[in-house]
Amino acid sequence: MRKLSIIDANLNRAREGLRVVEDIERFYFKSGKFAYLRKLRHRLAALFADDYESLVKSRDVRRDKGAGISEKGRSCVTSARRANISRVGEALRVLEEIIKLDDVKKSGRIKRIRFRLYEIEKGFVKELCKQKK
């Protein structure tokens, strides 16, 4: 049950973060990169589709010690994008390590998603550097 709670929290964190970055790319930057982010989000969700009921049952929002922790504000859309990419990467790493305890193959799939995210992040940084020149 505890592992399921860790998986549920980090799966939600990763999917939500990907959605934030996807929407920033789509609506703010008017970039076509949102489609690739959507594919990553759907690929991640598909990995856990069979576990949906057990993951939801493992949730205990009332007792979650982290539920009330506040976050600092964002200075601009780019900082929101950067923060969410970092959040997704961290959540994917947690998923990778916890899943590895039971399913090395699935863990490897999560690792590939994480490394694709790093490539996307690198592209964002390159674009930002071009804009600053």
pLDDT in tens, 2-36: 999 999 999 999 999 999 999 999 999 999 989 99
Determine whether 127 is exposed, middle or buried from the number of CB atoms within 10 Å of its CB (0-12, 13-18, 19+): middle
Contacts for 17 with CB less than 8 Å, ≥ 6 apart? 84, 85, 87, 88, 91
State pLDDT tens for residues 73-115. 788 899 999 999 999 999 999 999 999 999 999 999 999 999 9
Please give the CATH number for the structural domain made up of 2-58+74-132.
1.20.1260
